[in-house]
Amino acid sequence: MRFLPRNWWSIFPLCVLALLLAHSIALIYRIDPNTSLWFPPSGVAIAITLWFGPVGIVATAFASILVAPYWQLHGWTIWLGAIDALEPLIVWGCYRHLFRGSLHFLRLRETIAFILSGPICASAISAGMWTLALQLLGVTSTDSLLTRILYWWVGNAIGTIAIAPLALIYLTPQLQHYQLLPETDLPPSPTPTRPQIGQWLAILA
86 within domain boundaries: yes
Identify the pLDDT of residue 137: 86
**102: alpha, beta or left? (left if phi > 0; alpha if psi -120 to 50):** beta
Identify the pLDDT of residue 196: 55
Distance CA 91, CA 94 (A): 5
1 within domain boundaries: no
Are the beta carbons of 70 and 23 closer than 8 angstroms?
Answer: yes
Are the beta carbons of 122 and 46 closer than 8 angstroms?
Answer: yes
Question: For each of the chain's 205 residues, which pLDDT tens digit applies?
Answer: 456 667 888 899 999 999 999 999 999 999 988 899 999 999 999 999 999 999 999 999 999 999 999 999 999 999 999 999 999 999 999 999 999 998 988 789 999 999 999 999 999 999 999 999 998 888 776 667 888 899 999 999 999 999 999 999 999 999 988 888 865 534 444 444 545 554 554 455 4
Tally of domains within the chain: 1
148 within domain boundaries: yes
135 within domain boundaries: yes
Considering all CA atoms of the chain, what is the largest pairwise distance in Å, rounded to the nearest integer? 51
| pTM score | 0.87
Name the residue among 109, 117, 96 with its Cα closest to residue 49.
96
Helix, strand and coil content of the chain, in percent to the nearest 5, comes to 75, 0, 25
- Render pLDDT for 132-184 as a digit per residue (tens, 0 to 9): 999 888 877 666 788 889 999 999 999 999 999 999 999 999 998 888 886 55
2 within domain boundaries: no
Q: What CATH number does residue 180 fall under?
A: 1.10.1760
* Domain region containing 130: 8-204
3 within domain boundaries: no
